[in-house]
Amino acid sequence: MKTNPFNYIPVVFFFCMFAMSACEEKIDLNLTPNKPLLVVEAYINNIQSQYNYVVLTRSQDYFSPNLNNVPVQNAAVSITEGTVNGNGVYVWDNNSRVQLTELNNPLVPAAFRTGVYFDPRIVSNPNAALRGNIGKAYLLEIEARGQRYSAITSLPTPIEIDSLTFGFASVNASNERTVRITNHYQDPDTLGNRQLYYWIENDDRNSFGWGGIDKSRFPGKDDQTNGQYIRLTHPNRFEVPDTIDYYMASVNKDVYNFWESYDEARNNGGPFSTPVQLKSNLRGTDVTGCFSGFSLSLRRVFSR
Amino acid sequence: MHRICNVFLKNNKRALCGTAALFFVCCLSNFGILYAQPANVSVQVTGPGNEKIANATISINEQRQKADDNGFVQILLEQGNYSIQISAVNYFSYNFSVKINADTILFAELKPRESFLGNVTVTSSRNVSGNQMSTQSLSMEQIRKLPVILGEIDPLKTITLLPGIKNGGEGGSGLYVRGGGPDQNLVLLDGIPVYNPNHLFGFFSIFNGEAIDKIEVIKGGMPANFGGRLSSVINVSSRNGNRDSLKGSGGIGLISSRFSLEGPIIKGKSSFMLSARRTYIDQVARVVAKSEIGNNGYFFYDINAKADYNINDNNQLLFTFYTGDDNFKFSNTDNGRNTNFNTLWGNTLAGLFWKQKISNRLQQETGLIYNKFALTNRSTFSAFSFAFASGLEDLQVKTDWQFASNKWLKLKWGLQYIKHQFAPGAGDVTAGVQQFISDIKNQYAHEAAGYITTDIKVTPKLEMTAGMRYSYFNQVGPTSRIIYGADGEPTGETESFKRGESIAAYHYPEPRVSFLYKLPAQASIKASYTRTTQFLHLATTSGATFPSDLWVPSGEKIKPAIAEQVALGYFKNLDGNQYELSAEAYYKTMSNQIEFRPGAQLLLNQNIEGEMIFGSGVAYGIELFAQKKTGRFTGWIGYTLSRTERTFDELNNGKPFTYRYDRTHDLSIVGNYRLNKKWDMAAVFVYGTGNALTLPKGRFGFNLGLDLAENRPIFTNINQYDAINDYRMPAYHRLDIAFTYTPKPNSSKRYKSSWNFGIYNVYNRRNPFFIYVDVDRDAQTVEGRKVYLFPIIPSVTWNFKF
């Protein structure tokens, strides 16, 4: 979602310049070779064990003919639970360490299993598989190609969804109606609460992974609405009737900042854009990405 | 001084027509003549309607003097007979002899050389003999003859043809002077600062060619009476009205029309000038593309007004007013998705000035100035709406004094005070019924400066201008703000300041000094040192400037920017001053430069300072300039070899990186040829190294998912960046030509008209507007794309006056 009306300046601009017939053509760019980065996409949440996973890929030269991701295989990946003491020092429970492996997860087609790391129990004993606990911190450790990387995230106290309501959005010529969803909840009277919003519609049920479902993020900051009763309406339209699993993910600052920078990076383009660097929470050399801790609240609703 | 006699001489008017000048002599004698001491001779040069002719040349027994911006010069002469010639660009010169035996005031009214207006000359008026270096000016008559895109005369665009002054590339009108940023230029309209001198996101400037008289740029050796910006002074002067008769002029172009009316309010004493311009892009679009455009549209307009009143021979009042807005409306309903974008932005300027000649040696000018820039935006995108307002408002009072002690010493001093009010981008976002209100309070500041500067003729060959400006800035209450921690998180506390309570105060000395050493054979060497301070900063995250960019004051965290520049130049005139040559080298350092963290969100950000990072800059280069000033063929060649860098700890691993608008080579060739009395031809060729650019070195997919139905991965390509601005866009070059046709050049009728035919980008160079790289997974392609805006574009403009 674009958060800035002046992101529409290119629209405005080209509208005004219609008579000047802006054109474009292919240009050969001799870019210097890329320094490959390890790209880490890791999640830990409190509800869905299947959605606690780590994906390792490697960046490639911009003009590489390979349009797919380059998985990083055979890495040593582990997640350890811990706490933060009063001095802000993390204390890790080594007994909680879980080694994640590339495995034959039936949810993931064979062609896409390389570079995707799960708790092996997700297949052998799903009920005991890795699941995040509210208030805990988590340490991600990776050893790949002789390099070590790490990241820390945490699961803040989730905010409960009070209710989800629907409002009219549009109707087409076939009299098919769409609606918008409004999330009602009480924002805690503490500063620094941040949320991301995900939902799975019927159309999404044949997908897997956080990137396979819809996501939203609002431009407002907690200090603008602190302690208020919130009524957020998403711009997205939902078909009627539909079954929607709606997740509100409470996240810490680092995670929110990463996904904010991700939104900036993916919307970045046009004559006035400037490069956006992802605000990674990974530590190590030549690495980017995010270890996202999601404290989820879930509601299933039926659009009507 | 005791006035014992008044002698009033007036030439025969018929003879004046022949000599193209009116000439008055008023002789004031005092007791001094009894002792045969040197006489103080003042010369006031004007055009028709008492219009002051700046930079006129007065040659007395072949000793040349330059008039100031008001056409005034004062000279100390021994008693005796003198042969005097008064000349000015685009005016007939006048020669006469006069006997000086007492303090004398000479009034000269020169007749304009209208038939020669086609001569394009840069009035680099003090090339050899003036101490002020790094300064160039253009008159509107010169600018009007040059080819411009769509025939839209634009002084700000034209000055980029001069060395050391660069634009932002194709389409952009941000100015970058000697490596400085676009906010480092003090743009003045009749002495009134203009914060946003652009229309249409920088494609055009706010300066309506019909209302403007001339434009002057000082890019180094800035005199002490100017301050508040690091890099340059761009001084735009609007026209004075005609004091004798009512006159009108105008033009009809492809995208805009303009009209001016001027005349006397009280004949011979007071005049007015009123000028207006409006674009009709919106109206044309509705005709040619009604189905696509609907009621959407964009237009801008400008209104200039000016009036003057001579209270008496020694006192004059001047009033200047400008207002202009850009207005854009866009709405679209596509399959239930409503999009509305309404935004309005513009400047309002007003100034009242009192000019007083207290004595032949002492004069002052006091001004009261108001200026405002405001932007409002209301937008709706689907279930979202945005409301946003920003701007700033100044109230300024200033007084400038000038004292000419004798021909060896001149003094200038003055005071300036500005009360700033900033509205730094408050607004709200609504998602359905939920509002996110940005509680950003207005900010206030006092800015003041005092200066004194002196022109000293140390020896007949060595001149020095030494000045000191002392500037002061104080951000004050009333305001309140949320306190953020070092991690950028709100602490939950707020901080309040009472009205007038100091939040952060700064004061700096700004020494300025320049030297001129005259060499034999019409040549000279000049050198200057300048220290400048800037307290206001333009907050922008993009490479271009936008009306939504915020001017923010220096405060606790944002320190004032300081620049130091040294320049050295060699200047030479040839062939009776027909040719002027110059070579200047400069080196400039800039501290406390502001950038924003990559991806920083500025709009509605309550902690904008938390997004800022601070660094330094350096710029150096050589500027070569050669021009032919007179004859059927006139023009110039300007070339700049330069380099400018920035260094920020948080960017580029702390290493210096090339500034986006660094331009290694910059060449401009401007020529104007008078084919005959009816036809003039002008051509402009420009070449510049491409802008520096940051392009991705690599890419990777993120936000991964799987579409199990289609058995394919889902991800978003994210670009991987490395060094900043290490890629160069292709070089920019272009040739434009223009022909001006005056059907009846010798007509004595009141009504006159001319046609201007232009071709922009004659050889259809596809200069890059921007470059992007793209992965198209559907088309299975990865490629770089160049977007270019302006192909070959013809234009025609009809100008008239009566």
Q: What angle do CA A287, A288, A292 make, to 5 degrees?
A: 130
Its ipTM equals: 0.91
- Give, in degrees to the nearest 5, the angle at Cα B650 between B647 and B656: 20
pLDDT at position B373 is 93
With a cut of 50, say whether residue A109 has pLDDT above it. yes
Q: How far apart are the first and last CA of chain B?
A: 46
- pLDDT beyond 70 at A7: no
Give the residue from A3, A114, A231, A274 with the most B CB atoms within 10 Å of its CB, the best one to mutate.
A274
B715 Cα to chain A: minimum distance (Å): 7
CA distance B557 to B258: 45
Dihedral sign (CA B612, B618, B624, B625): positive
pLDDT of residue B546: 63
Q: Is the pLDDT of residue A273 over 80?
A: no
Q: Tell me if chain B has a CB within 8 Å of the CB of A170.
A: yes
Query: Is the confidence at residue B12, as pLDDT, over 50?
Result: no
Query: For a pLDDT cut of 90, what percent of chain A falls above it?
Result: 56
**Cβ contacts of B78-82, under 8 Å, gap ≥ 24:** B78/B38, B78/B39, B79/B33, B79/B36, B79/B38, B79/B39
pLDDT exceeds cutoff 60 at B476: yes
A81 vs B: CB within 8 A? no
Contact call for B787 and A24, based on CB within 8 A:
yes
**pLDDT surpasses 60 at B32:** no
pLDDT for res B583: 96
Q: CB B705 to CB A213 under 8 A?
A: yes
For an interface test with A, the pick among B292, B718, B770 (most A C-beta atoms closer than 10 Å) comes out as B718
Of residues A261 and B576, the one with the higher pLDDT is A261
SS (H, E, C) B511-579: EEEEEEEEECCCEEEEEEEEEEEECEEEECCCCCCCCCCEEEECCCCCCCEEEEEEEEEEEEEECCCCE
Strand pairing report for A38-45 and A287-303: parallel
pLDDT tens for B411-453 read: 999 999 999 999 877 677 777 767 777 677 889 999 999 999 9
Residue B542: its pLDDT value, please?
56
Residue B256 Cα, gap to closest chain A Cα (Å): 14
Asked whether residue B51 carries a pLDDT value surpassing 90, the answer given is: no
- Identify which has the larger pLDDT, A270 or B528: B528
| Range B321-342 average pLDDT | 81
pLDDT given at position B17: 32
A9 has pLDDT over 50: no
Q: Are A34 and B697 an interchain contact pair (Cβ–Cβ within 8 Å)?
A: yes
The pLDDT of B381-397, averaged and rounded, is 85
Token output for A108: 């993931």
Radius of gyration of chain B (CA): 28
Mean model confidence pLDDT for chain A: 87
CB distance from A188 to chain B under 8 Å? no
Asked whether the predicted pLDDT for residue B607 surpasses 80, the reply is no
- The answer to whether residue B753 scores a pLDDT higher than 80 is yes
Q: Please report which confidence band the pLDDT of residue B545 belongs to, taking 50, 70 and 90 as the band edges.
A: low
Q: Which two tokens stand for residue B1?
A: 């001084």
Question: Are the beta carbons of A9 and B436 separated by less than 8 Å?
Answer: no
Per-residue confidence (pLDDT) for residue A80, from 0 to 100: 98
| pLDDT classification of B618: cutoffs 50, 70, 90 | very high
Nearest CA to A132 out of A21, A286, A249, A26 is that of: A249
- pLDDT, tens digit, for every residue of B337-387? 677 888 889 999 999 999 999 988 899 999 999 999 998 888 887 777 878
B178-205 mean pLDDT: 89
* Phi, psi dihedral angles at B5 (to 5 degrees): -160, 155
Share of chain B above pLDDT 90, in %: 43
- Report yes or no: B341 and B163 within 8 Å, Cβ to Cβ: no
pLDDT at A300: 94
Closest CA to A95 of A82, A84, A104: A82
* Residue B33 buriedness (CB in 10 A; 0-12 / 13-18 / 19+): middle
The mean per-residue pLDDT over the stretch B261-280 comes to 92
Span of A138-152, B323-337, B731-745 with lowest mean pLDDT: B323-337
Tell me chain A's radius of gyration from C-alpha atoms: 21
CA geometry: angle B691, B692, B695, nearest 5 deg: 120
CA neighbor of B165 nearest in space, from B154, B148, B179, B146: B179
Using an 8 Å CB-CB cutoff, list chain B residues near A260. Answer: 599, 601
Whole-number Å distance between alpha carbons of B445 and A247 = 47
Mean pLDDT, range A181-203, rounded to an integer: 90
Distance, CA of B380 to CA of B375 (rounded, Å) = 17
Check CB contact under 8 Å for B706 and A3: no
CB neighbourhood size of B24 (10 A):
14
Task: Give the pLDDT confidence score for residue A152 in this predicted structure.
Answer: 98
Q: Which pLDDT score, from 0 to 100, does residue B62 have?
A: 60
Determine the residue of chain A that is closest to B784 in CA distance: A27
Residues 188-217 on B with a CB inside 8 Å of A are 200-201
Q: What percent of chain B has pLDDT over 70?
A: 88
Answer yes or no: is pLDDT of A106 > 60: yes
Q: Give yes or no for B337 touching A (CB within 8 A).
A: yes
Model pLDDT, residue B602: 65
* B435: CB partners within 8 A, 6+ apart: B428, B429
The pLDDT value recorded for residue A34 is 83
Query: Is the pLDDT assigned to residue A173 strictly greater than 90?
Result: no
Classify burial at B751, counting beta carbons within 10 Å of its beta carbon; exposed 0-12, middle 13-18, buried 19 or more. Answer: exposed
A63 touches chain B (CB under 8 A): yes
Helices (H), B399-529: none
Residue B601 in contact with partner chain A when CB distance is under 8 A: yes
Q: Which of A262, A110, A30 is nearest to B598 (CA)?
A: A262
* Residue B772 in this model has a pLDDT that exceeds 70: yes
- Least-confidence region, from A258-262, B114-118, B239-243: B114-118
Whole-number average pLDDT of chain B: 84
> Any alpha helices (H) in B28-111, and if so which ranges?
none
Write down the pLDDT at residue A269: 65
pLDDT reported for residue B173: 57
Tell me, yes or no, if A272 comes closer than 8 A to chain B by beta carbon.
yes
- pLDDT for residue A54 is more than 60: yes
pLDDT at B35: 41
